[in-house]
Amino acid sequence: MKSTFLILLSLFSFLSIHSQHCSERYKNRIFNTIQIHRDVIYTKNAPKLIGSSLGIETIINRDLKMDIFFPPTTDTVQNRPVVIVAHGGGFIDVAFMGGTLLVGVKENDDVQALCDSLAHRGFIAAAIEYRTGFDVASTTSIKRAVWRGAQDMSSAIRFFRKNAQFLGVNPAQIFISGSSAGAFCAIHSCFVDFYERIPESYAQGIGMNNLGALHSRPIVQLTGTNPYTGNNVNGQDIDSLPLAVASYWGAIADSSFFYGNNKAPVIMFHGDNDIVVSHQCARPFSNVVLAAPATCGSEVMFAALQGQSIDSKLFIESGQGHEYWGALNGSWLPSGPNAFWKNIIDSTISFYYHYAQPQIPVLNLQTSYQAGQIYSFQVQNHQAGQSYCWSFTNATIISNNQSSFQIQVQFDSNATESEIQVSTISSNDFESQQQINLIQLSQTSSLENISENNFSIYPNPAQEKIFIENSLDEEPMQIHIFNSLGQGIFKNQSDDKQMEIVTNNWQKGIYLFECRNRRGTFVRKIIIQ
């Protein structure tokens, strides 16, 4: 018998155009309704600046809140990824003017719409408030405002990790993002190491108290969620590093912060005509806030990140200004979200998806396959909680569970090749890149010489034993039986016209009977009940 089969190629295709997708979650809008839990306290008694002048800060303690957007109660996934979103507004704080075109808040149109879109795709999303306010005439005061915002972003991350079980989130899949000043909060929270604490965060004379280390703010540990109840805990032992960061027209105070130990992938969006926060290095609000220190925007940040081999992606839009997705300080312009809006969301989610997806499956491929035969395929790097998306051309999947890590397939008898596609689906429905394998199938011209008329296998299904009757009158036949994993469990060479095989100690399932001589091969599926 000739059985020469060649695996022609094995390639990886990142969601290639001809590949199927078994999981649409996160990629597209999959829910018609969502839940929104408003004003959930994530840190209590945060020292909030209400006035600053001549080096004197006036402080009150205030609880910080977030709006959490969940998929609907019918959602069956529990360990869901989280995206934390911080609003814009330039850290400006004017009493009784929150939510106006002057002062940004978590209720801003753009961050609320972003969270809404994410929840409809299957994420949990949170629009957070953070501490704002500074003295426009003091560079020190401005830097302290950024430090407070970064502290609050850190607290929000640690809040979700601390309460992961309560909230049904995956603590390893927390993403952070922000618009304008909110992007400052996200970037500095992620990349500033403990030893890089800025001098302005310490006490300044008698009028400015010590703000504490970046990740020193306490967090609420929930004791109930209907309604939300809980108390502050220290929380400094909880990691605050996100899985990835999205910066919308943001900047960093010093690009050397990227040289430290804290690292995460970053995607950045910026207009090259942004006069509020430059995509290069310049003073934000230079025509309004005279004391504003220079910061470095997305183009410079991208170069620094690339120089440190930190995964990053940059979108610079020619001729576009600040908040070019269609907003003015977080409020939609009369035209509402523009054409950039969906592109920015899709690009951001694709970036997040890349870092949350499971490993590409590794298959147990043989070196030879024959048309018309039944074979078992198995994912070698299978992990608990994962399922699989299989697809074959010129073949039929005969396994009952077609999402299992091991599967049985019968190739078409006249096929010359088959394309095998498989991807891994994680327990929270992220789908891996697909592995695509194209194999050639060999034909055996004498296969018809050994046919169903030459053999009788009974009973089938069987329980305690099976009988094999052979009507061929020639040299001995080689008989093999394989389990569903492709492992040989029986082997014999005989010219007997009848053979009895005891099966009462075999596990229930599907087995493959193969009989071979010089004229060809006969294969039959056997079921043990």
Instruction: Answer yes or no: same fold for 7-18+360-440 and 450-528.
Output: yes
Residue % of the chain over a pLDDT of 70: 89
Q: What is the pLDDT of residues 311-323, one digit of tens each?
A: 999 999 999 999 9
Q: What is the pLDDT of residues 202-255, one digit of tens each?
A: 999 999 999 999 999 999 999 999 899 999 999 989 999 999 999 999 999 999
Report helix angle 109-121 to 339-356, nearest 10. 50
Top mean pLDDT of 137-141, 458-462, 477-481 is at 137-141
pLDDT of amino acid 16: 34
Q: Give the pLDDT mean for 125-134.
A: 97
| CATH code of the region 450-528 | 2.60.40.3080
Cis status, amide bond into 47, omega within 30 of 0: no
Q: Which sequence spans correspond to the domains of the chain? A: 7-18+360-440, 35-356, 450-528
pLDDT of amino acid 10: 32
pLDDT of amino acid 6: 30
Q: Give the pLDDT mean for 374-403.
A: 94
For residue 336, which phi and psi values (nearest 5 degrees)?
75, -165
Take residue 495 and report the two structure tokens written for it.
Answer: 């010219």
Q: Quote the CA–CA distance of 293 and 143 in Å, as a whole number.
A: 8
Report helix angle 139-162 to 181-191, nearest 10. 70
pLDDT of amino acid 314: 98
User: Is pLDDT above 50 for 447?
Assistant: no
Asked whether 82 and 173 are in contact (CB, 8 A), the reply is: yes
| CATH code of the region 7-18+360-440 | 2.60.40
Q: Give the pLDDT mean for 79-87.
A: 98
Beta strands in 363-454 (DSSP E): 374-378, 387-392, 395-397, 406-411, 417-425, 434-440
Q: Which burial class, exposed, middle or buried, applies to 84 when counting CB atoms under 10 A from its CB (0-12, 13-18, 19+)?
A: buried
User: Is pLDDT above 70 for 286?
Assistant: no
Q: 116 in the Ramachandran plot: left (φ > 0), alpha (ψ -120 to 50) or beta? A: alpha
**Helical (H) or strand (E) element with 164:** helix 164-167
Is the whole-model pTM more than 0.85?
Answer: no
The CATH topology of domain 35-356 is: Rossmann fold (3.40.50)
